[in-house]
Amino acid sequence: MKRQRGHKARLYLSPAQLPLVDDQGHGARAMWNLLHELWEMTPKCQRSLARMDEAIRQARKDIPWLKAVPAQAAQQVLKTYHRAWVNCWEGRAEAPTFKKRTSRRAVDIPQGRDLRITRLSRHWGQCWVPMVGLVRFRWTRDLPYGKRADKLNRVTGARLAKEANGWHIVFRVQTEVDEPKPHDGPITGIDRGISKPLALSDGTFREHGPWLTPGEAGRLKRLEQQRERQGRQRKPGERNSARLRRTYDQIKQLRARATRRALDWQHRTTTELADIFGIIGVEDLAIRNMVKAAKGTVEAPGTNVAQKRGLNRSISGEAWGRTVTFLEYKLADRGGYLIKVPAPNTSRRCSACGFITPGNRESQARFVCKADSCGYEANADTNAARNIEHAAGHVASGRGDLGDTRS
């Protein structure tokens, strides 16, 4: 079967190449904003890809600095913008908006043959970036290139992305792999939380410490305070000073370091779980609704706004959705599969007798069944994970559907 994956590698640009790639990133962002303005101004009955394509071609002729964006990358901006609207119409995402200057910069290289990938040594590779030249990158995973590439195993394209620690390239790799054999591992349920990031139904937990050391966390706090002091000196409409920009960059680097550590932990943990278990059940959570602000309106102000803001920040920091995404494709590669079960009552139901009442969960960490004939006690997250495993087991065995959590 065909398998498509992305591979991210760090780019090492020369001093002469760096401004060229930066110009492409700013040009792609500006082209997105021009397309957005044209889309908003055009009557609905006249909106079409052909009209937008003609506008892009004319803009590259009339605006000199837009020529820094390669023609194929400019076409890809249009395709990405149109795809964003399709995702919005189908209910998968919000409507596309104007991109600020501080937004993440990215440039597409749609054709894999334009990359001309070669391996220089054990740790270094080289590829061609249009209108920039040959660029070195860190070789951390084998790629199908040159004579080793064919119709089934090849790099189909790439994207340049600007991160806090520099530019990276994300290769789109297509390979042919054998159909995986069914995973013979056991079934488990996983409850995602804050104090216990991942609680398994066997009573074990997968935990992590702070993403930043105490020294790094203290430095981040000082930089954020410094940013506020420097920002108060800026007049409305005035551009940020060089010192304020440098402070922003230092904050971005620390936060990006925390994100990289979180990603590393998630990859290691999900790989371990996918190797051990053949079926994993998780709650089907509407995370976007869970992290909505509670401030309300002027007429109906919200309650406990600060506490909800802290909870939202903690949920976003754990990246529950990304954990499920990693588990889903890693299980599929190993012949297992992921089952999403309904979330209601998983934390209030007793996993031993099935009794449901809000009083079962005595605290955030303690579960005690209030049924007269039961009295089961356990960690609240472990109890929820066992309910999830029970529901996933019914779905896997064909004895129930996603609406049945007990038989």
Over residues 231-246, the mean pLDDT reads 84
Cα gap 110→5, rounded to integer Å: 15
Structure tokens at 343: 């979330």
Q: For 269-278, what is each residue's pLDDT tens digit?
A: 999 999 999 9
Please say whether the beta carbons of 234 and 240 come within 8 A. yes
Residue 404 has pLDDT above 50, yes or no: no
Instruction: Give the pLDDT score at 402.
Output: 45
Positions of E strands within 177-309: 187-192, 198-200, 205-206, 279-283
Over residues 57-77, the mean pLDDT reads 89
Q: Which residues pair with 349 in a beta bridge?
A: 356
> What mean pLDDT is reported for the chain?
87
Separate counts of helices (H) and strands (E) for the chain: 9, 14
Residue 292 has pLDDT above 60, yes or no: yes
Residue 141 has pLDDT above 60, yes or no: yes
Over residues 68-85, the mean pLDDT reads 91
Instruction: Give the pLDDT score at 47.
Output: 85
Instruction: Give the pLDDT score at 354.
Output: 79
Over residues 75-95, the mean pLDDT reads 90
Q: For 5-51, what is each residue's pLDDT tens digit?
A: 899 999 999 999 999 999 999 999 999 999 999 998 988 888 888 88
Cα gap 231→27, rounded to integer Å: 27
| Amino acid (1-letter code) at residue 361 | R
Kindly indicate the confidence band of residue 360, based on its pLDDT and cuts at 50, 70 and 90: low
Measured between alpha carbons, how far is residue 160 from residues 71, 73, 128, 140 in Å? 15, 10, 12, 17
Cα gap 172→158, rounded to integer Å: 6
Residue 407 has pLDDT above 50, yes or no: no
Residue 388 has pLDDT above 70, yes or no: yes
SS3 37: helix
Token match 């390979």: residue? Answer: 175
Q: Which residues pair with 137 in a beta bridge?
A: 11, 125
Kindly indicate the confidence band of residue 300, based on its pLDDT and cuts at 50, 70 and 90: low
- pTM exceeds 0.75 for this model: yes
Cα gap 43→61, rounded to integer Å: 25
Q: What is the DSSP string of 174-185?
A: EEE-PPPPPP--
Kindly indicate the confidence band of residue 349, based on its pLDDT and cuts at 50, 70 and 90: confident
Over residues 195-208, the mean pLDDT reads 89
Cα gap 157→172, rounded to integer Å: 5
- Ranked by mean pLDDT, the top range of 163-167, 173-177, 221-225, 310-314 is 221-225
Instruction: Give the pLDDT score at 406.
Output: 38
Instruction: Give the pLDDT score at 261.
Output: 93
Q: For 46-64, what is each residue's pLDDT tens digit?
A: 888 888 888 888 888 888 8
Instruction: Give the pLDDT score at 405.
Output: 39
Instruction: Give the pLDDT score at 303.
Output: 67
Question: What's phi and psi for 108, nearest 5 deg?
Answer: -95, 145
Q: For 112-128, what is each residue's pLDDT tens digit?
A: 888 999 999 999 999 99
